[in-house]
């Protein structure tokens, strides 16, 4: 039986404050304290053209690029995700290092593999994410494909020379 995953609406107003607090660590020059499990994504607003920032959890990493993988927990409605569709050239900061990067929205099959690897490497964090997003248990390959449809995975490819 396939799982249906429905993502919650992104928080607005005062409910967004906890989601925005980690940005201040980066602005204060303390982003490195979050290590390599999180990154600061700087992107351009699709309507305003202004610089925007989000802190996202890194769910996968390929040192060859380097390439960092993140997932849109609020689905395709998340503003940062929609901004990347319009403007894929971004900057990321991981730990103390900052890179120019290019965003690529992955097809669900590839996203499902990355989400499954994340679930195996970080079972507690994956369970907490599931609880936060009110997800049913995700166990089968079909479940992970459904999850990758609802929670798209984005590859952030470093473009630094």
Give residue 3's pLDDT: 59
Structure tokens at 81: 């995700």
From first to last of its 161 residues, what are the pLDDT tens digits of the chain?
355 666 666 767 777 677 778 898 999 999 989 999 999 999 999 999 999 999 999 999 999 989 999 999 888 989 999 999 999 999 999 999 999 999 999 999 999 999 999 999 999 988 887 777 777 788 889 989 988 998 999 999 999 86
- CA-to-CA dists, residue 112 to 8, 17, 20, 26, 118, angstroms: 19, 30, 27, 30, 10
In this prediction the pTM is 0.89
Task: For each of the domains in the chain, give its residue range(s) and CATH number, in order of start.
Answer: 13-158 (2.30.110.10)
């Amino acid at each position: 039986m396939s799982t249906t995953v429905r993502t919650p609406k992104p928080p607005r107003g005062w409910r967004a404050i906890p989601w925005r607090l980690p940005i201040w660590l980066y602005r204060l020059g303390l982003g490195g304290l979050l290590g390599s499990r999180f990154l600061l994504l700087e992107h351009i607003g699709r309507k305003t053209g202004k610089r925007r920032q989000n802190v996202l959890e890194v769910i996968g990493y390929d040192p060859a690029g380097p390439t960092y993988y993140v997932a849109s927990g609020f689905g395709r409605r998340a503003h940062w995700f929609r901004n990347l569709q319009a403007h894929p050239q971004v900057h990321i900061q991981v730990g103390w290092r900052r890179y120019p990067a290019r965003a690529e929205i992955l097809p669900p099959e590839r996203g499902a593999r990355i989400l499954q690897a994340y679930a195996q490497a970080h079972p507690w964090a994956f369970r907490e994410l599931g609880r936060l997003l009110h997800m049913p248990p995700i166990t089968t390959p079909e479940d992970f494909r459904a999850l990758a449809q609802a929670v798209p995975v984005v590859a952030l490819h470093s473009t630094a020379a």
